[in-house]
Structure formats: C-alpha cells, structure tokens
Amino acid sequence: MGIYLDNAATSYPKPEAVYRAVDRFMREIGASSGRGAYRQALLADKVVFSAREALGKLFGIRDASRIVFTSNATESLNLAVKGLLKAGDHVVASSMEHNAVWRPLKRLEAERGIEITVAPCAKDGSLRPEDVIKAIRPNTRLVVMTHASNVTGTLLPVGEVGAAARDRGVLFLVDAAQTAGTCPIDAGTLGIDLLAFTGHKGLFGPTGTGGLYIREGVDLLPFKEGGTGGESILEHQPDHLPDRFEAGTLNISGIAGLLAGVDFILTEGIDRIRGKEKELTGHFLRALEIIPGIEVYGPKDPEKQVGVVSLNISGVMAQDVAYVLDEVYGVMVRSGLHCAPMAHRTIGTIDRGTVRFGIGYFNTIEEIDTMVQALAEIAGKTLTWK
Ligand SMILES: Cc1ncc(COP(=O)(O)O)c(C=O)c1O
C-alpha cells in the first residue's frame, strides 16, 4: 500500500472501530430500524439513535432529532436548497462553492426563477464577510457557503457571516463537507440554520452516509416521501423530524460505522484532530516553499486552511504529476478541477486544474517527507528539461 493523500475525497483508512462496527452490525444485528419491536430491531434503532446523539454532541445541537440522515453532503445540500427556495427568492453564495451547491442553485435559477449573487473570494480563496453582507437584499432568503474549500482548503468566515445573516433575518446554510470531524463546529454559536455534512470524509464513516441539521423553526419541503415505519396509517408524510425527511430504509450498516467514527472523534477530541491537521499541513507548506518550480494555491497558512493543499508544477500538467506520483512513488492524490469550477476561476486555474493533496488524521510526517521528496524530484527533472 502506498501513501494515501486523497482524504479530501474520502478518508482512508478509517479507525479500526469503524470496520468492526459495520461488520458487527451486519453480522449480529442486521435488522431494519424504526420498523420492528423484536430485540434485534430495537438494537438497530439504538444504533441510529446513538449516531444522531453523537453527531448532536459534535455539532453542539441539543435536539438531535433535528439531524436527518442522507446519503452524503450532496443530498443534504439538494434537500436544503430545493426544499427551501421558491420563485422570487434571492440567494448569496461564495465563489468557492462546490458543484454540490452550485448545480442545485443553477437548476432552481432555471426552473423556479430564483436569483443568485456570488460573493467574490480573493485569489487565495478567502472571503470578506462584508462582501456577503453587501450582497444581501430585501428578498434574500438564504446565504450558502462552504466552511472550507475543497480546492485550496481555505477556511471561510462562517461565524461572522452567520451572525450577519441572523441579524438580517436571512437563513444560513453551511456546507461542512471538508470540516465536519476535523474542525470545531458549534451550530448555535456560528449562527447556522442548516448544516450539511458528509459521513465518509472527516467523520470517518463509510461512503453513503451523511446528514443535514435543520434548526427548529426552519421548514423545508421533503423531496421524497415513503415509509417511515411508524404512523403508517397516514396518507401523507409525517411532519415531525426526523421522519419528515427519512423516507425509506436507512443505510443502517453505514450509520453504525458513522457512529463509531464520530465516537472516535469525540474520544480523541476535535482540538487534537485539528492540531494534527495543522501540524502536518504546516510541515508540508514549509517544505514546499523551498522547492523551485512549484506554485501553491490558497492561504499557505495552516491556521487559515484545512488539510487540503493544491499546487501545480511549472511546465507539467496536473494529471501527469498525479500519474507519476502514483506510478513511480506510490502517492495517491487527485488532479483536475475537483468538482468546483468556480473555485478554479477564483484562483486562476480553470484551464489547468491543480494537483490536490488531502491530508488526513492518519498521515504521518514521514509520509509527508516522502511525498515532498517525490515532488522535488519531479520538479527538478522538469527544470532540467527546460
Ligand atoms: C466542499 C464540498 N462540498 C460538497 C461535497 C460533496 O460531498 P459528497 O460527495 O459526500 O456528497 C464535497 C465532496 O467532495 C466537498 O468537498
């Protein structure tokens, strides 16, 4: 096995407890949740209940029933945006958004006639809260923003924007795909009304898990209806959460793994996890400074970014760098546009994309050093070709 540095796509490896929890659920529990009264069905209920509670603890959400399970952040963002916005509504989004935010907004612009204003970010991906505030209008219903860019790792000022949105009676949706599990998030303190997260990145869950927190008083229309186990006599979807948004059998084996992942984070402590991310990212960024021919994007400061670093080597295509890193050095990274073309326009890499390194909790300083050596060799060879 080589060096895995694609944690921004999905985290790998997972804590041992995650593998064990999925295996145990599938072998020893196996029943559906919310639908049976026999002992194993109640154990399945307990897994789902405990996962909601653990997530509530992690995100500072007292009423965990306001967290609904989805299959990933993309589904959560679609549910939030499409369940909320109506014709004539105005939305403000940052220019670092992922397609999971941008494409649903564009669909609603075409189909429902919503209006979108993009608050421009600087070349390092950073956003000035005043640029969001000045875009707010009387018909602004929602501000939506990524917590950290998946291209540059840049942390966006969610606290300041959340407070400003709250003062103006505008709802605030945060895409925490790159920060849930790696950065402290307290939904109440940050003024977050809707928090979309994915289970398989920083939360260490299996793929196919995720969720949306919906603050009490925020009403969304569900986009799917169906069985919820209880209240089967009703012809319409129940109004109360989480059933209103959880039609159909949940991914309980995935949720069992997600629970183990969140428990791992709660036990390690989010500050320690963030601390290690900063240490590894800082080490990498410092090493990059002395390699000629490498352009690094983003703030280049571990205090201002998560463990995502994007770069290009002068004269080599991003895909070729990623290919050589894998083939020759066994280093796994991603290249291209990373599902966020607006972010690439913002940082000036729409034509060439970037090579992206996604540092995770289980990476080591030695792995970063090996990878830096590989990059130095690739960049050095390129310089001699010229
Ligand atoms: C910032 C951001 N938003 C949304 C997503 C979508 O996450 P998922 O693919 O788990 O739905 C990602 C994942 O790549 C992301 O990085």
Q: Spell out the domains of the chain, with CATH numbers in brackets.
A: 3-12+269-385 (3.90.1150.10), 62-243 (3.40.640.10)
Out of 178, 183, 357, mutate this one to test ligand 1's pocket (max ligand atoms within 8 Å of CB): namely: 178
Task: State residue 35's pLDDT score.
Answer: 87
Distance 74 CA to ligand 1 centre (A): 6
Between CA 137 and CA 139 the distance in angstroms is 5
Q: If you take atom 14 of ligand 1, which residue's CA is the nearest one?
A: 9
> Average pLDDT by consecutive 10-residue portion of the chain (386 residues)?
96 98 97 91 97 98 98 98 98 98 98 98 98 98 98 98 98 98 98 98 98 97 90 89 96 98 98 98 96 96 98 95 97 94 94 97 97 95 57
**What's the pLDDT at 36?**
85
pLDDT recorded at residue 385: 47
Tens-digit pLDDT profile for residues 347-371: 999 999 999 999 999 999 999 999 9
Mutate which of 154, 195, 339 to test ligand 1's pocket (most atoms within 8 Å of Cβ)? 339
Q: Whose CA is nearest to atom 12 of ligand 1?
A: 177
User: What are all long-range contacts of 118-122, with beta carbons under 8 Å and residues at least 24 apart?
Assistant: 118/92, 118/93, 118/94, 118/342, 119/92, 119/93, 119/94, 119/95, 120/95, 120/346, 121/94, 121/95, 121/96, 121/154, 121/156, 121/343, 121/346, 122/346
Is there an atom of ligand 1 within 6 Å of 97 CB?
no
Q: What is the C-alpha to C-alpha distance for residues 272 and 16, in angstroms, rounded to an integer? A: 18
Ligand 1: residue of 7, 11, 72 to mutate (most ligand atoms within 8 A of CB) is: 72
Burial 257-280 (b: 16+ CB within 10 A, else e): bbbbbbbbbeeeebeebbebbbeb
pTM of the model: 0.97
User: Is-catalytic flag, 339?
Assistant: yes
Please tell me the predicted confidence (pLDDT) of residue 382: 67
Given phi > 0 = left and psi -120 to 50 = alpha, else beta, which region is 339? left
Task: Kindly state the DSSP code that residue 189 receives in the 8-state scheme.
Answer: T
Say what the pLDDT of residue 381 is: 77
Look at residues 323, 297, 338 and name the one whose alpha carbon lies nearest to residue 378: 323
What pLDDT was estimated at residue 386?
43
Q: Tell me how far the alpha carbon of residue 178 lies from the centroid of ligand 1, in angstroms.
A: 7
CA–CA separation, 335 and 194 (whole Å): 31
Q: Which one of the listed residues 247, 270, 287, 339 is annotated catalytic?
A: 339
Instruction: Report the alpha-carbon distance of residue 21 to residue 186 in Å, rounded.
Output: 27
